[in-house]
Structure 1
Amino acid sequence: MFQQDQQSLCGSQNTQQVVIDDTTLRDGEQSAGVAFSAEEKIHIARSLVELGVQELELGIPAMGAEECELIRSIVELKLGAKSLVWSRLNEADLTLAASTGVDMVDLSVPSSAQQLKNKIHKSEAWVLDQLVKLIPRALDYGLEVCIGCEDASRADADFLSRIAECAEKYGAKRLRYADTLGILEPFRCYESLKKLRQSSGLELEMHAHDDYGLATANTLAAVKAGASHINTTVNGLGERAGNAPLEECVFALKHLHALDLAIDTTKIPALSAFVQQASGRSVSSNKSVVGAMVFTHESGVHVDGLLKDQHNYQGLDPTELGRSHELVLGKHSGSALLKAAYESLGLRVSDDVTPILLGGLRKFSSSTKRSPTEQDLIRLYQQYSNSELAVG
């Protein structure tokens, strides 16, 4: 598998099948202070399906009747994506999950010694006994079953294998490997998922958190190890530092692993903007893929290279997002862009005046902390060229 994946990085077609199970509406909404309205949840669900996302984790039925009704209303829209809900490892939660009409339930299983002892105060044997009882019950309800191993990155590997063996024996379809605290790094993630892949016939799903900024990297490592499903959220929304961002995973798998998930990437910016507004969580201007300035260039060396051939400084084509490169003047700009900017205003800049104007531009940018407007450029020209405007 590792050799095949290495080949894909060099551009060969990767035939591995990977499904996005987006959890913006569940784990994304669990961000502190985030609360989507019913209309916002429905809009996000529709938009994700229009993107091409195949699975949606819609919420937590145990939150109450209102949450159950909203989940049910989304299911009844028949959007075309598989629907999941999250459930604790008990009969009451499972019954509520079944009442929503979803396709699959994620039975959450605290799997680390830390959580078994200090969170639920149960033993490993108790967990396995619950799986034996609840998986068949879920199947009787007509639900597919995903076993969500919470805190899997701190769990004993042998216990994870026993969970997977029990889950598969009693009819579960999938095992979710949750890096709940975001403490994995890609090399250990790869080895952990590879071991599970070799010992289990279950679908494997990676659920990564971004506490160390490695959620996307760990998701890619899990796919390399054989994960068939990945959890994502729009903009990386989620508890604490967030989850693996949908937009990053889509583009990284497509261009770095030659694995196209058939997502309409031109629709990502609009969905990103909507989730920012609905969640009250804006992304930074330099946020990968969806940040306002990720295709904005100022450096003279970079601008010169882009003007000659965009591939000189283009690792991600902005047209895939319905965007384009933007060249802006600033402290680090060079002569080529400065002249082009003045030419667009109908002003001729001679070679002897260019260094003087560049000096003025750098002073302006340092003092104002912004790019000049057209009027600013005219004032700079008048101030530093020591000549009247030469309008072409």
Structure 2
Amino acid sequence: MDPSKLRIDDTTLRDGEQTAGVVFSNHEKIRIAQLLDKVGVAQIEAGVPAMGGDEKAVIREIASLGLRASVLGWNRPVIADIQHSVDCGVDAVAISIATSDVHIQHKLKKDRQWVIDRMIEGVKFAKSHNLYVSVNAEDGSRADFGFMVEFGLAAKEAGADRLRFCDTVGILDPFQTFSVIKDFKKAVGLEIEMHTHNDFGMATANALAGIKAGAAWVNTTVNGLGERAGNAALEEVIMAMKYLGHIDLGFKTEMFRELSEYVAMASARTIPIWKAIVGTNVFAHESGIHADGVIKNPKTYEVFSPEEVGLERQLVIGKHSGSASIIQKFKEFGIEIDKESATDILADVRRASVELKRSLFSKELMYIYQDYLRKSGKEHVPTCE
């Protein structure tokens, strides 16, 4: 795949907001759209215009902001739905319909031909309004492959610009994803978009596998927000592509932590400290061996610098620290100590950490240092600010 043709369509404002219990205010939706645009997203899935009310009003406002990113509205293959998107002034629409038999038979209570007919009708109406059209094959990963090819070819014939392959319940692994996307793209000859869910913890891996197989678009959400276990995380996909796939999409990655914090605040969903890419522990080092390596050369335990994603490196002092960490930490306080002193202080640090069941705060380290100076008969006792 030509890396220059790879694009991100972010659905934080649609699938992300469909997370159980999450609601964005209109102001928050606008701010998130602006941040996504600034960070480098090619297309923003702004919501569901057919919901009307505040949803339709805010999508119309996002579409009028003059963003560099394309603004897309999500729709069922219903003419009235698509007309709501037209009313909002978006330049793109997603037309989504189920493609697996379990959905067709039990949710829609229709047959495969009805699905194709409704999809074609929707695509033709959207194209008559000069809109970019993504046809979404909901639950495509559980659909019959022969029907998926038939569905994809019909979408292409109707004028669709791309097809979103949806692993709606996250049942694929990266090996299956690569195989099915490679075969599907070859059979249909239409641009493919990956929409992956994280039910088995493989959303990002499956998105990357789809790219390797030739998908030109990836659907993401900030922080992996989304229904049930969430979607492929924007920040994970971008950084994995850059450092594992050697494809740099030119994103302003230094904004990732800011973007993640804003979406976390707006969604009332905390960023776990261990969260890949943007979690505060990604660049926090306590283990003596690890901290010693990072002090000598950060590349020993960091693939990229914390500044690249808007974070800072932290030396955490606690039970697992080594003397090198103690020496380095006190350098940050403007205090030079030798290895013998560091070893003595470390013993007290470890005892305190076990007793408190956590790492130590800077003030606590200074108290330990002051006690050490008194016990060792040293004269200078620094003031603890």
State the percentage of identical aligned residues: 43
Residues 353 and 143 (structure 1), Cα distance of their counterparts in 2 relative to 1, 3 Å cut = closer
Aligned to 2:141: 153
Aligned to 1:387: 376
Q: Once the 2 structures are TM-superposed, how far is the Cα of residue 304 of structure 1 from its aligned partner?
A: 1.0
Supply the distance in 2 between the matched residues of 1:251 and 1:345 (Cα, whole angstroms): 33
Is 2:74 the partner of 1:98?
Answer: no
Supply the distance in 2 between the matched residues of 1:339 and 1:313 (Cα, whole angstroms): 19
The one-character-per-residue Cα deviations of 1:179-203 (angstroms, maximum 9, x if unpaired) are 1111111000111111111112211
Kindly indicate whether the alpha-carbon contact (under 8 Å) linking 1:382 and 1:388 is maintained by their aligned counterparts in 2: no
3-state DSSP of counterpart to 2:289: helix
Supply the distance in 2 between the matched residues of 1:138 and 1:321 (Cα, whole angstroms): 38
Aligned to 1:303: 291
- More deviation in 339-348 or 363-372? 339-348
Provide the aligned length of Structure 1 versus Structure 2: 380
Kindly indicate whether the alpha-carbon contact (under 8 Å) linking 1:299 and 1:332 is maintained by their aligned counterparts in 2: yes
Aligned to 1:10: none
The one-character-per-residue Cα deviations of 1:273-317 (angstroms, maximum 9, x if unpaired) are 111111101110110111122101011101111111111111222
Kindly indicate whether the alpha-carbon contact (under 8 Å) linking 2:286 and 2:320 is maintained by their aligned counterparts in 1: yes
Is 2:57 the partner of 1:66?
Answer: no
Supply the distance in 1 between the matched residues of 2:379 and 2:174 (Cα, whole angstroms): 59
Supply the distance in 1 between the matched residues of 2:213 and 2:4 (Cα, whole angstroms): 11
Q: Once the 2 structures are TM-superposed, how far is the Cα of residue 157 of structure 1 from its aligned partner?
A: 0.7
Aligned to 2:166: 178
Is 2:112 the partner of 1:124?
Answer: yes
Aligned to 2:315: 327
Supply the distance in 2 between the matched residues of 1:262 and 1:349 (Cα, whole angstroms): 44
Counterpart of 1:337 (choices 319, 325, 328) is 325
Supply the distance in 2 between the matched residues of 1:70 and 1:202 (Cα, whole angstroms): 31
**CA RMSD for the aligned pairs?**
1.8
Letter in 2 for 1:22: D
Where in structure 2 are the equivalents of 1:233-244 lying within 5 Å?
233-244=221-232
Counterpart of 1:358 (choices 346, 360, 365) is 346
Q: TM-score, normalised by structure 1?
A: 0.92
Kindly indicate whether the alpha-carbon contact (under 8 Å) linking 1:299 and 1:334 is maintained by their aligned counterparts in 2: yes
Kindly indicate whether the alpha-carbon contact (under 8 Å) linking 2:174 and 2:209 is maintained by their aligned counterparts in 1: yes
Which 4+ residue blocks in structure 1 deviate beyond 4 angstroms?
A: 343-353, 382-385
Kindly indicate whether the alpha-carbon contact (under 8 Å) linking 2:256 and 2:310 is maintained by their aligned counterparts in 1: no
Q: TM-score, normalised by structure 2?
A: 0.94
Supply the distance in 1 between the matched residues of 2:27 and 2:163 (Cα, whole angstroms): 31
Supply the distance in 2 between the matched residues of 1:347 and 1:257 (Cα, whole angstroms): 43
Residues 302 and 77 (structure 1), Cα distance of their counterparts in 2 relative to 1, 3 Å cut = same
The one-character-per-residue Cα deviations of 1:318-337 (angstroms, maximum 9, x if unpaired) are 12123332112111111111
- More deviation in 61-70 or 78-87? 61-70
Letter in 1 for 2:214: G
Aligned to 1:6: none
Residue ranges of structure 1 left out of the alignment (5+ in a row): 2-13
Supply the distance in 2 between the matched residues of 1:126 and 1:390 (Cα, whole angstroms): 87
Residue ranges of structure 2 left out of the alignment (5+ in a row): none
Aligned to 2:153: 165
Aligned to 1:17: 5
Supply the distance in 2 between the matched residues of 1:79 and 1:344 (Cα, whole angstroms): 43
